[in-house]
Amino acid sequence: MAYQAMNYEKLLGTEGFSNQLLTNHFTLYNGYVANTNKLMEELAELDKQGKAGTPLYAEMKRRFGWEFDGMRLHELYFGNMVKGGAAPDTKARLFAKIAEDFGSVENCAKQFKAVGAMRGIGWTILYYDVAGKQLINTWINEHDAGHLAGAAPILIMDVFEHAFMIDYGLKRADYIEAFFKAIDWPAVAKRFDAAAK
């Protein structure tokens, strides 16, 4: 079954994000969807031909994680944003858990922003470790490496250059502040509720 690219045009006009930046970012995301589907087709064909043990098959399998995670992380990123932002319901279970694990919502946000401001390209992710029952702010370098096994991504921020350089140049901290103003906190809280059943 082929994956379908989601339409995130509702984010156009989001304060702090030019339409050019968002449109370019959507195009990049669509490429991840297309490449995921192409790799699935090509891997299935190689498997049908009995070539699953070949170096070509192995390299394509390795590439699959990059494309799939690039697709899925962008969906989570765009999915936790909304034009104008959406205020948090501080009575939601997520905010009680943030206060428990970080001391306060402000401490969690400060740490998340600090992780996002680190040198390098990648992703900042607030994970919920299902087994350990705790929230953890994490840095991911590449799409397909460094994820916390068994943990659910709750809040995702893209910190590859394509996410901010058109609008902010090297001022990543300004991008991070704009991102925080566009967070859809009810969507983030729903992710937590689904993970922390």
Domains and CATH numbers, the chain: 18-79 (1.10.287), 93-195 (3.55.40.20)
Mean pLDDT of the chain: 96
Note the maximum CA span of the chain. 56
CA gap 44, 166 in Å, rounded: 38
With 0.75 as the threshold, say if the pTM is over it: yes
Place of tokens 């995702």: 156
Confidence (pLDDT) at 155: 98
Q: Collect all residues with Cβ–Cβ distance below 8 Å to 29 and sequence separation of at least 6.
A: 5, 8, 70, 71, 74, 75, 78
pLDDT tens for each residue of 78-128: 999 999 999 988 899 999 999 999 999 999 999 999 999 999 999 999 999
The confidence band for 144, taking pLDDT boundaries of 50, 70 and 90, is confident
**Whole-number Å distance between alpha carbons of 157 and 177:** 11
- SS3 percent helix, strand, coil of the chain, rounded to 5, is 55, 15, 30
* Strands 151-158 vs 123-129: parallel, antiparallel or unpaired: antiparallel
The pLDDT of 189-196, averaged and rounded, is 97
Give the amino acid at 120: G
Burial class (CB in 10 A: 0-12, 13-18, 19+), 72: middle
CA–CA separation, 15 vs 152, rounded Å?
Answer: 28
Partnered with residue 129 across adjacent β-strands are 134, 151
